[in-house]
Amino acid sequence: MVYILADGSVSKQPPLSRNPIKFAARWFASPRAAITIAVVVAACSTILDFSPLANGAIPAAKKKPHEHWSYMARDMSFVRKMTEGLVGKTKATTKEAKKRLKNQEIMGFIQKVDFGGPDGHVAEESDLLDLEEIRVTRCSTTRSAITAYMCGADIATDQDIAHGHHRKTPNFGTKSFRGYLNCRHQQGRQTGNHRRSVYRLGISCKGNLAGYSHAFNIIAQPDGTYFWLQSFIGHYSLATWMKKVDNTKESGLSGHLTHVELMQKLDKVDRLMNIFSWNSQSNDDYLDLFNVDKKLKTMSGNRGRQLKKWTLDHCLDTFAWDEACEYPLPDEYHAEDQTSGQNTVAEDGASLDKCTILLADISLSSFLSSFIGIGGLALSKEDFFTTMEK
């Protein structure tokens, strides 16, 4: 076989361009060429931001609804990649916000606990021996990553302490959450398309160092099903959770639920919030919800620590939630309006759907209860809490 070279001559030896190793070796054999390449790479890294959240990008907008599950489950660096751009994004500008940040820092120092930064965006350190730690197990960081992926960096950080009084306030209570979920689900059944809601959830207790508090996401899908997405510090990563099999669920997976199955999960949350001792029922409920067996004496993983004996301060008493956004669809993916349904016409002629009105009522009630302790029509008295500073 002969080769025609660039100068038109004929040779029995292939040109260097056909042998990448020799071609690269020739380039890097020249100090000048090597320096040139290094400078160009460094300049590109400085000028261009390769973060998936750069310039307001929303990564989920590039994928169809049925592709999100496999993407999040397969990407080993998903959580770390999605939270890199969140750390330090929000700058405290008010005296009140700076004071809260300082108090949070002091609390972490005194209690000798790493909360993942003031807002939980920072992944835990890894010793490179534990694959779960590399993937990230801190639940608040995983929630931040999923929210950033689905909604973008601005929304993923809109509850940051640095915002002060301007940060987004969550809603409280499972009753209000059930009401809103049922409204959206009924609306979706009527229209044939369900709203693609991204929910941020947190459940906590007075003894916030006992290892019972938790943060997670629920993602509503256009087909009326839901993704229950979570990790648990010291136990498992998001990817591990998404692979967990549960033959009692219609999907065959623990984290992919029908509407009925989601309501059953919330029944277990309600039970856990109304206990006076930790028994086998409580343990089974907690295990089914959060995939952690509290009968074990230590956390799993190579950083396992002794679990504290259950007391009334460990009873889950605060359930917080909000709808972060409706995640976008790729441009080439066509779907009907996800929020259509029975609408109310406002004074200015704009169309307001009934579920949006319900959410506004819930949010107002939660806001008022947080600051002045009064309730509205949307929430019961026991659902109100005066603080959510964890």
Tens of pLDDT, residue by residue over 268-305, are 999 999 999 999 999 999 999 999 998 875 555 445 55
- CB count, 10 Å around CB of 68? 21
List alpha helices for the chain, DSSP H: 20-29, 31-47, 68-74, 78-83, 95-111, 131-135, 139-151, 153-156, 174-191, 238-242, 259-272, 280-290, 354-372
**pLDDT, greater one: 111 or 378:** 111
Query: Is pLDDT above 90 for 354?
Result: yes
> Which pLDDT belongs to residue 296?
74
Question: Could you read off the pLDDT of 189-216 as tens digits, one per residue?
Answer: 999 999 999 999 999 988 766 789 999 9
pLDDT above 60: residue 147: yes
Please tell me the distance from the alpha carbon of residue 100 to that of residue 146, in angstroms, as a whole number.
25
Q: Which of 219, 209, 387 is closest to 308 using CA atoms?
A: 209
* pLDDT tens string 238-255: 999 999 999 999 999 999
pLDDT higher than threshold 50 for residue 346: no
Query: Residue 308: what pLDDT?
Result: 66
User: Does 234 score more than 70 pLDDT?
Assistant: yes
Q: Band the pLDDT of 7: cuts 50, 70, 90.
A: low
160, two tokens? 């940051």
| Residue 247 CA neighbour count, 13 Å, CB half | 0
The pLDDT of residue 384 is 34
Query: Is residue 116 pLDDT above 80, yes or no?
Result: no
- Asked if 212 and 307 touch (Cβ cutoff 8 Å), the reply is no
